[in-house]
Chain A
Amino acid sequence: MIKINSKKLAKFLGLKAVRLLILLIVIAAISFIMIQLSPIDPVRAYLGQRIVSQEQLAIMGEYWGTNLSLGERVMGWLSTLASGSMGFSLIYRVPVTEVIVQKFTASLTLMVSSWIISGIFGFLLGVLAGAKEGTWIDKVIKTYCYILQSSPTFWIGLVLLMVFSVYLGWFPIGLSVPIGQLSDTVTFWQWLHRLILPAFTLSIVGIASLTMYTRDKLISVKKSDYFLFAQARGESFWGIIKNHGIRNILIPAITIQFMSFNELFGGTILVEQVFAYPGIGQATVAAGLRSDVPLLLGIVIISTIFVFAGNLIADIIYQYVDPRLRGEDDD
């Protein structure tokens, strides 16, 4: 069904790649400068509580480049990045890339599962509210979304933790891995057991914006001429919602969901903190609190790529799945 003009796609992706490259360079430079200007002293951060002599400090300073000018340090950092290395994490004592791969994979399960759940339920709730516009179902769903949009993610997490873990005792209170067990010996069920609550928190927060968007879209479809004509042709209400409503709002909804990677990542940071889930979010907080500058900068870059990827997919869907836009390409 999807005809793709490969030449056009190549050009499109090429342009996007250039954009991403420029974006990454600028973000890497700016975040590096921000950290350099901050009160964080990399030498002190590296040494932690250890006490060293003045000479050693000078040597360390040279190693970290504190005696170089800001411009030189930025260039140095960018060239290190260009060589494919993000440096060495101070807290994990392994290369930053390694930390990120490991933590990001853990978080990805959390993010993907909650993204899918919020996508499906957000869409369905939106369709229901839009179809039943003005009824009590619509009002309940609208109120739910309104309140959720105003509530801090981490507080929702705390409340769920109190109810399901502390009060009901259904889920563990923290830690992705039971204490005293190596992470590779965790069974699938143990892992799932610990994933449910954070994923659930992340999804119920993510539902709100998608639901409101879907609802508004469906209401505008209901006001369209083609909806009226389908009714005039004797099609049933839910038949029209299914055949014409969903057909016309599914693509925009998926697009919006892909564009929500920004909020998804932010939510993950908070949720992981609440549930002590050892993923990229916790690593971010640890890196920030303990001045692990290389790791923090690495995470900034990775999260930028993550958000960019979401927007890129949204763009591609928008441009290549809608027959109206596809048609223009074929000429």
Chain B
Amino acid sequence: MTEAPWYNKGLFSSLNLRQKTLLTIGLTGLVLFVIFICGWLIDANLPTDFAMKMQAPSFSHPFGTDWMGRDMFIRTIKGLSLSIVIGIGASIISSFIATILAFVASVNKWFDEFVSWLIDLFASIPHILLIMMISIALGKGAFGVIMAVAFSHWVNLTRVLRAEVLQINTSEYVALSNRLGRSKLWIAKEHILPLVLSQIFVGTLLVFPHAIMHEASVTFLGFGLSPHEPAIGIILSESMSYLAMGAWWLAFFPGLALLIVVLLFDIIGDNLKRLLDPGEANN
């Protein structure tokens, strides 16, 4: 009642909030990029120095050192960088699956039923268990984990896209194209895909945090990356053996760093969503 139509002019006429949002996205993205690049530049074979093993955090080793005297800060950065790569891989594949399935669902009623059933099916096995199973089936390792995470995270995005595609399909211009004898594939490519592209993009980003977290979880359980990889899950799983000795820094900092990366991705995803969906920003 108090909301006049002019109230909802969208975000692109509102430079202030837009700039602020873009700035947030830019800065967060930059932090993640720096972590990624740093991790990339670090040699996987970190120097071991048994004289310096199990050091508590200090000025020269902010995150402490492990049982081989390796610097935990460097290991953590390397691990995060790996997490980001796996997160990117898994999210892209999973949104690819989601997009395909959403379009398959739009073909006819039977396909739609089938996709809904598939969604129900995947939602009915506990997530972690599903990831474990897929990872085992694919022989674990980076490939196994990426596929496992990808194949268990398409469900939500598919739901969103399916509804969106369904809505666009009932629109006037799609009906017109149908009458003009355009093929379904042409309509999907020319009309629907451009409209859902932003959703796919945001959806991909929103899968990110989950992908990273689940990768760390299965790796921690021993079904993901191999113990030779410098992954956060491995670091945390290793730390379990030293907890009783009071080496708290082995678990605390790497986990916290992971938490921060997940939060940063969350922030990017949320801000981007607001940028592309101004209706929500008005609240």
**A–B in direct contact per CB < 8 Å:** yes
Contact with B along A292-311 (1 / 0, CB 8 A): 00001001100110011001
Interface residues of A in 247-271 (CB under 8 A from B): 262-263, 265-266, 269-270
Q: What's the least CB distance linking B236 to chain A, in Å?
A: 6
Q: Does B221 contact A (CB under 8 A)?
A: yes
In the bound complex, residues from chain A placing their C-beta under 8 Å from that of B121 are 23, 26-27
User: Which of these, B125, B136, B263, contacts A303 with CB under 8 Å?
Assistant: B125
User: Which of these, A23, A150, A265, A311, contacts B262 with CB under 8 Å?
Assistant: A150
Contact with B along A131-167 (1 / 0, CB 8 A): 0000000000000001100111111001101100011
Given the interface contacts A34-B137, A38-B137, A162-B251, does A152 sit within 8 Å of B243 by beta carbon? Answer: no
In the bound complex, residues from chain A placing their C-beta under 8 Å from that of B246 are 166-167
The answer on a CB contact under 8 Å between B138 and A265 is no
In the bound complex, residues from chain A placing their C-beta under 8 Å from that of B127 are 262-263, 266
Given the interface contacts A27-B125, A173-B243, A300-B125, does A151 sit within 8 Å of B136 by beta carbon? Answer: no
The answer on a CB contact under 8 Å between B134 and A34 is yes
User: Which of these, A155, A162, A269, contacts B248 with CB under 8 Å?
Assistant: A162
Q: Does B209 contact A (CB under 8 A)?
A: yes
In the bound complex, residues from chain B placing their C-beta under 8 Å from that of A153 are 217
The answer on a CB contact under 8 Å between A308 and B124 is yes
User: Which of these, B137, B220, B243, B259, contacts A150 with CB under 8 Å?
Assistant: B259
Q: Does A108 contact B (CB under 8 A)?
A: no
User: Which of these, A155, A167, A266, contacts B129 with CB under 8 Å?
Assistant: A266
In the bound complex, residues from chain B placing their C-beta under 8 Å from that of A303 are 125-126, 129
The answer on a CB contact under 8 Å between B220 and A154 is yes
Q: Does A289 contact B (CB under 8 A)?
A: yes
Q: Does A82 contact B (CB under 8 A)?
A: no
Complex Cα–Cα for A306 and B98 (A)? 26
Q: Does A35 contact B (CB under 8 A)?
A: yes
The answer on a CB contact under 8 Å between A37 and B137 is yes
Given the interface contacts A150-B266, A299-B129, does A159 sit within 8 Å of B251 by beta carbon? Answer: yes
Q: What's the least CB distance linking A312 to chain B, in Å?
A: 11
The answer on a CB contact under 8 Å between A152 and B217 is yes
The answer on a CB contact under 8 Å between A173 and B244 is yes
Q: Which residue of B lies closest to A285 (CB)?
A: B221
The answer on a CB contact under 8 Å between B128 and A269 is yes
Complex Cα–Cα for A55 and B264 (A)? 58
Given the interface contacts A31-B133, A161-B243, A166-B246, does A155 sit within 8 Å of B259 by beta carbon? Answer: yes
The answer on a CB contact under 8 Å between B124 and A159 is no
Total inter-chain residue pairs, C-beta < 8 Å: 128
The answer on a CB contact under 8 Å between B259 and A147 is yes
In the bound complex, residues from chain B placing their C-beta under 8 Å from that of A273 are 220-221
Given the interface contacts A274-B240, A307-B124, does A150 sit within 8 Å of B139 by beta carbon? Answer: no
Interface band, chain B: 35 or more
Q: Does A14 contact B (CB under 8 A)?
A: no
Q: Which residue of B lies closest to A151 (CB)?
A: B259
Q: What's the least CB distance linking B60 to chain A, in Å?
A: 23
Q: What's the least CB distance linking B144 to chain A, in Å?
A: 9
Q: What's the least CB distance linking A30 to chain B, in Å?
A: 8
Interface residues of B in 243-283 (CB under 8 A from A): 243-244, 246, 248, 251-252, 255, 258-259, 262-263, 266
Q: What's the least CB distance linking A227 to chain B, in Å?
A: 16
Q: Does B223 contact A (CB under 8 A)?
A: yes
Q: Does A116 contact B (CB under 8 A)?
A: no
User: Which of these, B120, B133, B236, contacts A158 with CB under 8 Å?
Assistant: B236
Q: What's the least CB distance linking A166 to chain B, in Å?
A: 6
In the bound complex, residues from chain B placing their C-beta under 8 Å from that of A284 are 129, 132
Q: What's the least CB distance linking B140 to chain A, in Å?
A: 9
In the bound complex, residues from chain A placing their C-beta under 8 Å from that of B216 are 152
Q: 13 interchain pairs (CB within 8 A)?
A: A26-B121, A34-B133, A38-B138, A152-B255, A152-B258, A154-B217, A158-B239, A158-B255, A262-B125, A265-B126, A266-B127, A270-B217, A289-B222
A152-B213, A158-B240, A166-B246 known, 16 other contacts, Cβ within 8 Å: A37-B137, A146-B266, A151-B213, A151-B262, A153-B217, A154-B217, A158-B255, A162-B248, A262-B126, A262-B127, A265-B129, A266-B128, A274-B240, A300-B129, A304-B125, A307-B126
